[in-house]
Structure 1
Amino acid sequence: MSRERLEAYQVIVYLAAILAGLALGAMLSTPPKVLETLLWPVLGLLLYATFTQVPLARLPEALSDTRFLTAAIIGNFLLLPIVVWGLLQLAPATPAVRLGIMLVLLVPCTDWFIAFTQLGGGDTRHAIAFTPVSLLLQLLLLPFYVWAFSGQELALTLARRELLEAFVGLILVPLLVAFLTQAWVARKRQRAAMLHALGWFPVPLLALVVFLIAASQVETVMASGGLLARVTPLFIAFLALAALIARLLADMLRLPRRQGRVLAFSFATRNSFVVLPIALALPASFEVTAVVIVLQSLVELLGMALFLWWVPRRLFPLSA
């Protein structure tokens, strides 16, 4: 199996992992502590492998096409946050659910959106070049968005020591190690095989992460079925609005169709596993936050199955 084929069928892999995790958790009266213990190193390895696929040294290249960069930044960091604010007005009043919606919808994807862009016939070069800009901006802006949308109480929740430790240990440290890995690989051409090998890791590792979450949080999933059912339409609406915004911005800035496809996949996909460490380090009353993030990932992946047909054929056809 090729890496591209694995990525094309990743939604099936994740669904199977979640169902297996729920089945295991349901069979156990009390999920063993080892499930949560394993989750943290697996998540750290996942983020490291993911960050090695982000071209962290290509910021100058990303800044060269100002029209595309303007569209990508305005869409991801101005218009879509407004969409998220509007969707929050329709969301359940439960703070843990609202925080999960904010965390997952406010951070653009920096990994599998490139795979979807390639599969959907988009300009992969622009997708790759934009990823370091996207990663930098989302890490800087996420705390501001949470404070602006939810007020001081939730912002203080995110400022807890445990959350800061999770952010440093599971996001900043893997990011730094990934950058050092890329710098080491760049010194000798034959080392490039290492980065290629690491590119196989994100799908199976993310499958293992969602398996561990499902197995350890099965009671939370079962108890929150009603809330999750109310949140799912919001995630579907986000996908539709993201596609609409991509088309409007591409038309306004007269971007080529292949760049428009990049916008569609960038706006619709979110960095769910980057914010998972933050969600998992929240206080005990916020267990459902991580479940909301995993739910959004599933809705998004199912949506991408439709996007791969709709974006190149209807939203941004080359013949138009």
Structure 2
Amino acid sequence: MEGAGDQAPVVAWMEHHQVVLYLSALVTGAVLGLAAPAASSLLETAISPVLAALLYATFLGVPFHRLRAAFADARFMAALLAVNFLVVPAVVLLLSRLVADESGLLVGTLLVLLAPCVDYVMVFTRLAGGAWSRILAASPALMLIQALVLPLWLALAAGSPGAQGGGGISWRPFAQAFVLMIALPMGLSILTRRAAPRVRFADRLASATTALMVPLMMATLLLVVSSQVPRVASRPDVVARVVPLFVTFALVMPVVGDVAGRMARQGRRERLALAFSGTTRNSLVVLPLAPALPDSMGMAPMVVVTQTLVELVVMAVGVRLLPRLIR
């Protein structure tokens, strides 16, 4: 018990400063990747196990048992689902036309922008004074719905005129990546939570894994950026094409969230939550799916990583700016 007591202040400190810690991990990863580009392949092999552990920790924090209760707040839930699964696809469809001539850029953009965040969106919402607990309660619905509709959206994109030259998506490796990196951690997290009240080991595992959430996120960001930044740096043309697209998305969606909240007669804290949910994407959850794409879409992982870099910088600004704009 003494160890747990000593650990609690450290965990609380990390949670309070996690945005700064995440940005530090990004900078460290970029410096490491540029200084030692030859180590990128070795660093890349470490991404999958660390990312799987992060996703397990993330899903442990998703209150799947609150799924029914979340829908009791009908107006907020309707606004949240409309923003993420009606408005976002329309906005992304328009923006993605800018990269529709290149299949890797197109599918990478769709993959990352169509998936709403279920983890650190709560962090940014809480720092901005938004109703983060509403997002927490709704996170199971966001996770389950995107798991169902994302393959359908990608299937449509793979058959679109803009996604040429790739022979479509090979669904077998894509399905394997989904099962191993998303379905399996999600299922294990649900089993752990169910067993925790009765099995001491499961309870300790859940507590320890939850406490490691911030370090696991930092490790994942560092590994992803350090392994991918040499590729990103070698293709400034890719960065130049997708960064304006991601910045535009980040500027449009807070306005959409605020307007949707006003239409649903929500208060200021709820409208802040809608703004952050519409803007923040599930990049680290969909990242393992990107390598399952065919070689002709090899730029997709680079696009996902670039979006992560843009988003974290934008969110660090947003937690200061959006509370002043949404009143």
Cα distance between partner residues in 2 of 1:108 and 1:255? 20
**TM-score calculated relative to the size of structure 2:** 0.87
Secondary structure of the corresponding residue to residue 101 of structure 2: coil
Equivalent in the alignment of 2:192:
181
| Larger displacement relative to structure 2 (211-220 or 256-265) | 211-220
| Cα deviation code 1:144-163 (max 9, x no counterpart) | 22233442668974443211
* Residues 127, 262 of structure 1: 8 Å contact kept: yes
% of aligned pairs identical? 35
Unaligned stretches of 5+ residues in structure 2 = 1-9
Shift of 1:16: 2.2
**TM-score calculated relative to the size of structure 1:** 0.89
Equivalent in the alignment of 2:224:
213
* Residues 114, 127 of structure 1: 8 Å contact kept: yes
Equivalent in the alignment of 2:144:
136
- What one-letter code is carried by the residue in structure 2 that aligns with 1:313? R
Equivalent in the alignment of 1:105:
113
| RMSD of Structure 2 on Structure 1 (CA) | 2.4
Cα distance between partner residues in 2 of 1:260 and 1:112? 17
| Cα deviation code 1:251-285 (max 9, x no counterpart) | 11111111111101111100001111101222333
Alignment of 1:263 onto 2:274:
yes
Alignment of 1:17 onto 2:28:
yes
Distance 1:8 1:34, change over 3 A: closer
Distance 1:144 1:122, change over 3 A: same
Cα distance between partner residues in 2 of 1:169 and 1:41? 10
Cα distance between partner residues in 1 of 2:64 and 2:87? 25
Alignment of 1:37 onto 2:48:
no
Aligned residues: 313
Secondary structure of the corresponding residue to residue 81 of structure 1: helix
Equivalent in the alignment of 2:65:
57
- What one-letter code is carried by the residue in structure 1 that aligns with 2:249? F
- What one-letter code is carried by the residue in structure 2 that aligns with 1:178? S
Unaligned stretches of 5+ residues in structure 1 = none
* Residues 91, 234 of structure 1: 8 Å contact kept: no
Shift of 1:188: 7.5
Cα distance between partner residues in 1 of 2:218 and 2:33? 13
* Residues 17, 210 of structure 1: 8 Å contact kept: no
Shift of 1:292: 1.0
Cα distance between partner residues in 1 of 2:227 and 2:23? 21
